[in-house]
Structures are given as C-alpha cells and as structure tokens.
Amino acid sequence: MVVASNAIRYGDFSPPDLQLVASASAVAETAQPVLHDLNHKRPQSAMVELEETLEEAQKRAMASYREWPRMDFHGFMELAQVPEHSHKQGPGVKRYMSRQPAWMAGNELPWEELFQNLKGPRPRHSGLGVFGGCVYAQAPLAAARAIEEEEKRQTAATGIVKLVPGIHSIQGIFTIPGRGDRPFVFDVTDIVSARSFFGRQVNVRQPRQPSSNPTGPFPDSDAELPLSDICFSCITTLKRPADGVDDVQLPISAQKRYAGILSQRAPDEWETAPQSDIDIITSLFRDFKGHGAFPLLDMHKVDMSDYNDDKEVPDRRQLMLYRPMKPIPKDDVNGHIVCHAFEADRNGLIMLGNHMGYGFNMGMAASLSYSFYVHTNPEEAVMDDEGWWIQEINWPRVSANRCMMESKIWSPEGKHVASTYQDGILVPAREPMEVKESKL
C-alpha cells in the first residue's frame, strides 16, 4: 500500500516551539505566517508533516466552508461612553469603550480541518494581535464623538447650529498587540478647539483580563477593570467644511488610468480580498473565497499581475475596490471617514512581502505608524451602497528592515478624497519555507 504524505517545511524555527503565528504588529497586521521560537533558541529548519497529500487536506478543508455572520457599522463600531465619575483620568478627559471583539485576519479559515491529519505538533496560525484597522478606526471615531457631543451642547445652549466638523487627519502609532477577548478603552484629551479646527489625542488601553463576555457585546463593567499599557495612540484633527479657492488633483483618476483593467469584469466579480493576503496562506486555502466575518465593508482585489509583471516593486500598483456592506447614515460623516481608514489598513504590508519574494518565508510584517489625510470636505467622503471606491496602493521604499506604503482613496466619481502613509517592519525569515511531497 502506498501512503502519500505531504511535508511542509516552513523553516526558521524548530520544535518544541514550532508555531505558525501572527507577527507581533502592535494591534497587528495579523495572520502573517511566521515561526516563533519563544525561547530564542538557535533557529533550525522545522518540518510539519501531514499523513495525506496536501490536496486531500485542502479538499477536506474546503468541504467545511460556511458563511460567517458579518457585522455592519452600527454593530461593530458601537462605542459606549463611560461616565466621567467612574474613571480617574482627570477633568475634561472623555472615555469610551468598544462593544464588540476586534476582527482577526485569517481566523475564519478552516485551520483545524486542514491540519486534522498532522503528524507532530500542530502549528498555531495566529498570535494575540487583532487587525490593527479596528482600533485605528475606532480611536478617531471616539475623538469625533467627543467633539460632536460638545457641539450639541453648544447648540442647545445658544441655538446656533454650525456645520459638523469632519475628521481631517489621523496620525497613529501602534505599540503592543491588541487582544480580541476584551474591549478597547479610549481616553480622549483636548489639544485644541478653535472656531473651525479641532485636535484631540486618543490613548487606547485594554483591560488586563478578558471580558466576562469575551465574544461580545462587552458589558459596561469591563471599563472598570484595571487597564494595561497603551496599545495605540493617535492625534486626530477635525475641521469644519469650507469653500476653497482652488481644487487641484492629478489630471487622470485611477478609474481612467486603469480603465483597461477595471473594464474586464464587474467590481464584485474580482476576487474577494483574501482574509490574509500572504502567499503561503492563499496557497494553502486557494479555493477558499469569501469575506469570512470581515465587518463593515465588501472588499475586492483587482488582479494587477499583468500590469506589474515587468515593473520594479516601487512602480507596481494594487487596486482594492470597496463599499459598505450595509448603508451607513449619510449624516454621520465621521463614521464614513473612519471606514475609509479601516479599509486602507488591510493587508497592505503583507502584500508588499509577496512582491519582495517573502510570501513563503515571511519573518515579520508589522505596522508601526499610520497616517491618514482627508483632502476634501467631509461630505465628499460619504459612501452610498452602490458606488465602488478605489484604494490605489504602492510601495515606494524598502530599507533597513522598514518599508513604506502609500495609497490614494478615489471616490466612484474619480475624486481623490484621501491619502494614507504607513511605515512598518518587513523582514524575511532566515530560511525559506518549502512545500514538497514524498511517498512512503
């Protein structure tokens, strides 16, 4: 009897500390496949062996496919305001708490089914860090909600209705991984409140212990638990709408520049954005399509392989198409803006890892700092549930284990609405991962 086995050599670290884990991005670009030696032993090659062919394992995993419930803006982005008398951050500090667990990339892929017939220790596919876009979107939303509350009080006192300030910029840094079994707690501090311009600092922590309801919604009592160190911090600026003298942008929009590619199929016929867009994972789950439990938005990845084929990495481009999975109230301009920021943080650095040739031997890919700028009045960032927005991504610089990602956000009408700049760590593993079959 011939028994086919499939040995997957991930390579870099050895048992007993063999783990396929997420990179330790602070609040994280998650589900990067790296092997971590928790005791920092001398790295060696590691072998993970299946008692069947990889194809058989993949078919069984695919057979387990199911639809996952997805949360819309109202559910996922809900923030509870914590009464000032219940915390000790001083006068003027406004505290908010998230209600739902943050999303973790790759968490809905059928890892258990894939590794059902594994010989030896079972790799772990994700670490502690959740998708960093969750806290990156919720922190500025907390700042906006604090200002919106102040505006309502002033209107009630004076009877004067002013135009709602919209988020103008978000400048954030990630410090330690965020956990999915407890809420984020946001402390909003006033930096400046002028007639038309506002600035707030938001420091984010999490309770030291899991929530009493770790699958959410998190109860109010979680905000009273002792908090750990800051996991994310940002400065958010807001400005009131204004009539500008000029309006200048690139003469050719992304829609026109890439019309030959975009016209090949309808937006929702492009591949659904992979849950974790790194070559080793997309290869293991090559037939596993769908959003998983990814909240808020429908996202699709345009195939840019022909366009990028003869170009150096800094000249390559990636287009992502997106829109809300369910309508977001049009008068909640700041809710719309943070959804753009949420989208723009997804998969960017690990896609660069693929372009750099690290897709099967990723050592670490982690966001360090991330800036988001809105160039228009806030109402021009409002999305309906019909038009598709474009994120145009490029990676102009990689050096000294750091990398740079830029992207432009284009409205369905071809207006350049926002830009993002992200700095992070990008490091290959010491030894390349190998996938090979052997027959016994």
Here the tokens at position 17 are 């500390």
In the chain, % of residues over pLDDT 70: 83
Considering the domain boundaries, does residue 408 fall inside one? yes
pLDDT at 90: 67
> Using CA atoms, how far apart are residues 241 and 376, in angstroms rounded to an integer?
8
- b/e 40-56 (16+ beta carbons within 10 angstroms → b): eeeeebbebebebebee
- pLDDT tens across 365-374, in order? 888 999 999 9
pLDDT at 321: 98
Q: Helices then strands (H, E): number in the chain?
A: 10, 19
Tell me which residue range forms the domain holding 256: 70-428
Tell how far CA 314 is from the center of its chain: 22
Considering the domain boundaries, does residue 398 fall inside one? yes
Helix (H) or strand (E) holding 295: none
**pLDDT score of 98 more than 90:** yes
Q: Which residue has the higher pLDDT, 428 or 298?
A: 298
Considering the domain boundaries, does residue 111 fall inside one? yes
**pLDDT score of 18 more than 60:** no
Burial group, residue 1, by CB count within 10 angstroms (0-12, 13-18, 19+): exposed
Considering the domain boundaries, does residue 366 fall inside one? yes
- pLDDT tens across 218-243, in order? 999 999 999 999 999 999 999 999 99
Considering the domain boundaries, does residue 31 fall inside one? no
> Using CA atoms, how far apart are residues 388 and 41, in angstroms rounded to an integer?
49
Considering the domain boundaries, does residue 104 fall inside one? yes
pLDDT at 128: 59
Tell how far CA 156 is from the center of its chain: 38
Starting from the edge strand earliest in sequence, which strands make up the sheet with 118-119, in order? Answer: 118-119, 47-50, 4-9, 434-439
Averaged pLDDT score across all residues of the chain: 84
Considering the domain boundaries, does residue 199 fall inside one? yes
CATH of the domain at 172: 2.40.160.210
pLDDT at 15: 23
Considering the domain boundaries, does residue 228 fall inside one? yes
pLDDT at 59: 87
Here the tokens at position 137 are 């979107």
User: Where does 212-270 show beta strands of DSSP type E?
Assistant: 232-239
- pLDDT tens across 165-208, in order? 999 999 999 999 999 999 999 999 999 999 999 999 999 999 99
Total number of domains in the chain: 1
**pLDDT score of 3 more than 80:** no
> Using CA atoms, how far apart are residues 143 and 433, in angstroms rounded to an integer?
44
Reduced to 3 states (helix: H, G, I; strand: E, B; else coil), residue 283 is helix
